[in-house]
A and B are shown apart, each in its own frame.
Chain A
Amino acid sequence: MVYVRWLAVLPFLGMLIGPFVFNRVTSFVFGMPLLLAWLVFWVLMTSVVMGVIYLCDPSNRTEGGGR
């Protein structure tokens, strides 16, 4: 869990640093401008990352979630 937790840094990097690199309209990805497609990808990845963290987090194993 201690290491898995650091995955949460990825959405911050993707959304805060990414726009410096991918600040372009073309080319279109899945019909969306490049920058929008990049950010939407990271929204989806955030759910994935948080899902992995959730599954690896021992505090979610107890009934009712514990604290």
Chain B
Amino acid sequence: MNAALPIIAASVVVALAVGVRARSGEEMSLEQWTVGGRGFGTMLVFLLMAGEIYTTFTFLGGSGWAYGKGGPAYYILCYITLAYVTSYWLLPPIWTYAKERRLFSQPDFFAAKYDSPLLGILVALVGIVALVPYMVLQLKGLGIIVATASYGVVPPWAAIWIGAATVTAYVMVSGVRGSAWTAVIKDTMILVVVLFLGIYLPLHYYGGFTAMFEAIEAAKPGFLALPDKGQSPVWFASTTLLTALGAYMWPHTFASLYTAKDAGAFRRNAVILPIYQLINLFVFLVGFAAILQVPGLKGPEVDLSLFRLAIQSFPPWFVGIIGATGVLTALVPGSMILMSGATLIANNLYRPMRPGTTNAATARLAKFVVPILALVCVGFTLQGGETIVQLLLLGYSFVTQLFPSLVTSLLLNNPLTRDGAIAGLVTGVAAVTVMTLSGATIGTLVPFLPTAFHDLNTGIVALALNLVVAGLVSALRPAPVVVR
């Protein structure tokens, strides 16, 4: 027993209490449960959007990338910023359309825009395949954080079960309101903790930022910039762009934008969020500080650099606070993922097969699916294996394939038809699967390209194939024009 454990336990209890209380007497209809009655103000929308972007990946992965890869980590800072730029024009029309038609989920949007229940089902399938590994990643992170911050007292499997049960409980009771209000606590804590760590650790160990970077440059020349091969500037630009386009294509992020009360919230957030996400810079500083202080972490261990350095630097009670913050970075996105996953299954897979299912019945089914989905994710997490990492890479590339047909559907005259959108999506998803599983690179796919292009992200190829097929099918098989 040490001082860290009660603090971590308290954070779980507080998250559960706040999450359950967030229901605040509302009758949990489908409209309330999935999209908070479309009544969230700028502040809650801000936290939901930021809440999904600051996940365990930011906390563990951000510092881990800075520690293990150096310069390439900067792409995280850039893709989030560019995603916010696109959000200014992308989100308001999606929100307006979804409100007019009372849509609940991302597949609803595609099904309505293209007048195609089949496309809706496809989008739902893509979403679920992408969401499950994303949830597994959160649970895995949670297990690592609790095990490390409790100094090994709580084994990962116990933390994973407790975390999953907590999230399941408050998601079933409060839906998206639970996520939003727990996000308030999470973002406050992460802001304070990460700013403190990012400033204190470099000053404490090196006496200053320049001194720290000079020491790293002396030990590992060029580590703080991009390498000439592999994760080169070509890789950096293509990955940043691709990830920025995909950022809002995740089903849980997409659905959370339906919660807004007005479209102005998105435009205001697009101004503030770039500066706000500089939190990531401070996460990097922690990872950089760890390079020379806790050297020798290899492979997946690099994700522990933040906690290893914290344990070496602080008393247990403070490690507990960092652990509690880490737990919340897993629970909040986890709750969003579970809720939107359950909505996809109930509203977009079950409902189309049984036309006439009411909103009330769909809401009941969705809440019933939450614990089942949570169990599946816990199962995958405890089974472990490298396959899940493969799946996550697939997941990110999968959701990005939704981008072309989404953007064209916002144009006054959509050049893509229903058949075109379906063909493009299927092609893109198939291309991503084949390339990821075979480990192909641009160099092996199109060897005649100059070597400078070999580091292009392969997702670009899939996206290009998607667009070409969608365009060709739309041109060759003109469907009856639907004016919207």
Contacts and interface: CB of A to CB of B under 8 A. Distances in A.
Contact of B233 (A12, A19, A32): A19
Contacts of B213: 25, 28, 31-33
A45 to B, nearest CB: 9
Contacts of B281: 36, 40
A38 to B, nearest CB: 9
Contacts of A20: 233, 237
A17 interface: yes
Interface in B109-166: none
Contacts of B78: 15-16, 39, 42-43
A51 to B, nearest CB: 5
Given A19-B226, A28-B213, A31-B209, A43 B267 contact: no
B81 A15 contact: yes
Count chain A CB atoms within 10 A of each CB in B71, B85, B226 and give the residue with the most: B85
Given A33-B225, A65-B262, A50 B270 contact: yes
B54 to A, nearest CB: 15
B74 interface: yes
Question: Which of the four size classes fits the interface of chain B?
Answer: 35 or more
- Interface residues of A, dominant DSSP: helix
Contacts of A46: 81-82, 84-85, 274
B262 A25 contact: no
A34 B325 CA distance: 31
B222 A25 contact: yes
B278 interface: yes
B56 to A, nearest CB: 22
B274 A25 contact: no
Nearest to A54: B271
Count chain A CB atoms within 10 A of each CB in B84, B210, B226, B233 and give the residue with the most: B233
A7 B259 CA distance: 29
Contacts of B71: 23, 33, 35-36
B57 interface: no
Given A19-B233, A19-B237, A35 B226 contact: yes
Contacts of B222: 25
A30 B208 CA distance: 11
A35 to B, nearest CB: 5
B105 interface: no
Given A54-B267, A67-B263, A43 B209 contact: no
A57 B89 CA distance: 11
Nearest to B212: A31
A26 B225 CA distance: 9
B271 A65 contact: no
A15 B75 CA distance: 9
Given A28-B214, A67-B96, A50 B237 contact: no
Contacts of B208: 31
A43 B277 contact: yes
A3 B281 CA distance: 32
Contacts of B209: 30-32
B94 to A, nearest CB: 11
Count chain B CB atoms within 10 A of each CB in A8, A28, A33 and give the residue with the most: A33
B477 interface: no
B375 interface: no
A67 B81 contact: no
B77 A43 contact: yes
Interface string B221-248: 1111110000001001100110000000
Nearest to A44: B275
B264 interface: yes
A34 B385 CA distance: 39
Contacts of A31: 208-210, 213
The 6 A-B residue pairs with the shortest CB-CB distance in the complex, in nearest-first order: A65-B264, A31-B209, A33-B224, A46-B274, A16-B237, A15-B78
18 contacts: A8-B88, A11-B82, A12-B241, A15-B82, A17-B237, A23-B226, A24-B225, A25-B217, A32-B213, A34-B225, A35-B225, A40-B278, A47-B271, A47-B275, A53-B88, A60-B264, A65-B263, A67-B93
Given A46-B82, A50-B84, 19 more contacts: A8-B88, A11-B81, A15-B78, A16-B237, A16-B240, A16-B241, A19-B237, A23-B233, A25-B213, A30-B209, A43-B278, A44-B278, A50-B85, A54-B268, A57-B267, A60-B267, A64-B264, A66-B263, A67-B96
